[in-house]
Structure 1
Amino acid sequence: MSKGREIDGSTGVSEFYGKELRYKREAAGLTLEQVVEGSFYGISYLSEIERGKRRMPEDLARHVDRLMETDGLFERRCDDVRRARTRGHAKFFERALEAERRAETIEEWCPTVFPGLLQTEPYIRALFRAERPLEPREKTDVKVNARLARATLLEDDHAKPEYWLILHESLLRTPVLPPRQLAEQLDRVASLGRRQRIFPQVVPWNAGAHPFVTGGSAKIMTFADEPPLVYTESLHTGCTIDDPGLVKQYRRSYDLLRAAALPPEASLAMIEAAAEDCRNGEQPDGLERRYLA
């Protein structure tokens, strides 16, 4: 039997779990198709589990244990994988975190902070310190490292997801960090944009009313083999939405928001100008108007 690309099981619990699953399956002489037969899951789903890209559901783990006679091994280890994959993240974010890793497209609206996938370490620490000023540093470190690890999604210029981002202009001037560190945060966004790894747009301060003017953040995710999801978040809580009607409404609202935003090239110029101002020690109280139509 031919084998696919070898998985490095030393990189984490999920990868080790997937490597063990594939080893047991191949040792039993079973194909992916044979393993999923009689379950509610497809071949691509099981393949992603073997590659450490997706968490094993408990019902599928029980099915695998019965089929391969592994005495409950994979069901017992399901929770270990879940804890490893979500360590450092809020419980309400778990489903969105899993979805983010396998999304084909992500479209995000962030009105008050840069999204987690783009945050630099100083920016992350400033946010956690503001929310939990007395938290021990070691606990904060776990959360900071978990958020930084999410950014590996954007390291490969040819990998999924295709990531669209809409920011509000005021965010470019919010002094969450000292000017030079804020410049580094802005540079990260601009660099990814120039590499065409992300497609940022900015809603100018004078754009007027738009569909999200009274709402919080929103993230719309689409996938190759499953329906789209929406994730929204506010302080201390988040919500993953899969109702087709609601997802459709969010999709329409996001399209209207995109129409109110500046084009990507003009948006990048605005972000780069804000970064340069920060490097020069300039952080005006008001919003810049020179790039607005």
Structure 2
Amino acid sequence: MLLPVIAGVDGLAESLAAAEWAAREALRRDRPLRLVHVWDWHLGSRFGRGHDGEPANAAQRHLALRVLQQAEERVRCAVPGVLLTGEQVEGPATAALLKAAEQAELLVLGSRGLTGLAGLLVGSVAQGVVAKATRPVVLVRTGEEAEDEHVLADDGSPSTRTGYRDVVLGIDLADACDEVIEFAFEEARLRRTRLRVVHAWQRPSAISMGPGDIGLVNDPARGEEWQGFLAAVLAVWREKYPETEVLETVVEGKASTALVRAASAASLLVVGRRLSERPVLPRIGPVTHAAVHHVCCPLAVVPHE
């Protein structure tokens, strides 16, 4: 049985954008799409719940059904060819979405980053899911449209008839992981577009140097060494995906800065997240954190051992 692409929907603009993106991704992967809306009975007091709780639950279920129907109508209109189902589940949201992700090819959520109070609240759910999910999670911003994934037409106008923009993979060569690399190559293959692989390095400081590093502080060949290392890591993947054009980019500087810059012209940014030995702590790492809050294109966070 094929695992579905799952999108979490809550009626807000960013979740509707995420649902549409998830529908397009489901078609690319030839997978069904499942829309999931989470409602939390603990919020029932705002509806004037009686002593047995039934009036509140009925009101919540009615609102949940409306949210789900709105998302389904939006998806069917935008991506009519996708095989679509909808489901209501009881919250809290982070726990429910994490459970749904376990049965998903990937989970797609809306994200506002840090724009205002609502953005912080939405971000707390998205960030909590990203920090603990064992399956890939894609975050999609409000306003994301199908044409945003494509290069501009010859006249400079947005179009879905042009080729896809690059898929960008942020890679840490000190912790390169096959699951993350394969995910990025597969996304580029599905779009028949170029994969741009970005590694950022920084010169060691006098404090961080080991005993044998003192002569390498001003080594002008350090960037070339990283370039050769990156080529070696990607060699096997080039053989596995011979039709995918790969652009290797090695830059000196902060990884978060390099990825935000590279993602400005991308259809998708892919980063990895190491599975924590203590999954109770919702930590995603500084580079992923920066990408979640500052990258405008869809962001795929791929967990790995």
Question: Would you call these one fold, judging by a TM-score over 0.5?
Answer: no
Report the TM range for the smaller structure's normalisation.
Answer: under 0.3
TM-score w.r.t. the length of structure 1 is 0.25
Q: Which has more helix, going by share of residues? A: 1
